Amino acid sequence: MRYNTVMEYLYETHMHTEEVSACARASGAKQAAVYKKMGYTGIIVTDHFINGYTTCPKNLPWEERMRFFASGYDEAKKAGDKLGLDVFFGWEFTIRGSDFLTYGLDLNFLIANPGLDRLEIDKYSELVRNSGGYLAQAHPYRDEYYIDHPYPVKPCYIDGVEVYNVMDRSESNSKALEFAEKNNLPKQAGTDAHGRGNKLYSGVSLKQKAESIHDIINAIKSGEATPLKRK
């Protein structure tokens, strides 16, 4: 698979903010500024959900926890609006260490579904997709101590696969690409940016500007979004 190196409309599909992701080292505003400087058209903020490595307090009522969870996106959106960078809302849902990028749904969806964090992949997939959302497995072959099952889930549970992740080993990325192609699943790429001075960035390249996150989703599903890695 070749990754396009020609800049068109470039979107980050996988990134974190320090407001919400405990592993991140840059605020939503700083992340927005970095991506704007690099020439990106937009970013999808995918902070770790409350079943992952998060800063969200556990003692808050559900709605307050969800509003806290959206705070990294809120800061990135405020900065993006000033800078002319499109900022979209998403999250990275974790099940025993395996991660799933979720797009196309909003804060109201999260507030309306208390206990969402306790769902297994079958029920989570059903809820997200029946609600109009999109689900892609992130770095499906990442093999770390905190991941119980470092392999892809059944193809029927996901809409797409992250076939290139900057933070992953080349062997893992190659296996992800092979899995996506074998199962005819849409392909995407992402930086998995945490604000630690990435030297390599990724995302997807679109031929037309996305007016909403659903334009990005539709481009990925149709194969019109080119997975990209960029120096």
Which residues lie across from 101 on neighbouring strands?
92, 136
pLDDT band at 1 (very low <50, low <70, confident <90, very high): very low
Phi, psi of 217 (to 5 degrees): -55, -45
Domains of the chain: 9-230 (3.20.20.140)
For 149, 163, 172, the CA distances from 15, given in Å and listed in that order, are 23, 16, 19
**Which pLDDT value is given to residue 60?**
97
pLDDT, the chain, mean: 95
User: Would you state the structure tokens that stand for residue 71, as one six-digit string?
Assistant: 């705070």
Distance from C-alpha of 108 to C-alpha of 132, rounded to nearest angstrom: 13
Q: Spell out the residues 6+ positions from residue 211 whose beta carbon is closer than 8 angstroms to its own.
A: none
Q: Tens digits of per-residue pLDDT, 70-119? A: 999 999 999 999 999 999 999 999 999 999 999 999 999 999 999 999 99
Q: Tens digits of per-residue pLDDT, 106-160? A: 999 999 999 999 999 999 999 999 999 999 999 999 998 889 999 999 999 999 9
Residue 41 one-letter amino acid: T
User: Would you state the structure tokens that stand for residue 67, as one six-digit string?
Assistant: 């509003």
**Which pLDDT value is given to residue 230?**
58
For 16, 66, 126, 182, 190, the CA distances from 203, given in Å and listed in that order, are 14, 26, 26, 22, 4
pLDDT band at 5 (very low <50, low <70, confident <90, very high): very low
229 has a pLDDT exceeding 80 = no
pLDDT band at 197 (very low <50, low <70, confident <90, very high): confident
What is the enclosing helix (H) or strand (E) of 135? Answer: strand 134-137
Distance from C-alpha of 19 to C-alpha of 169, rounded to nearest angstrom: 27
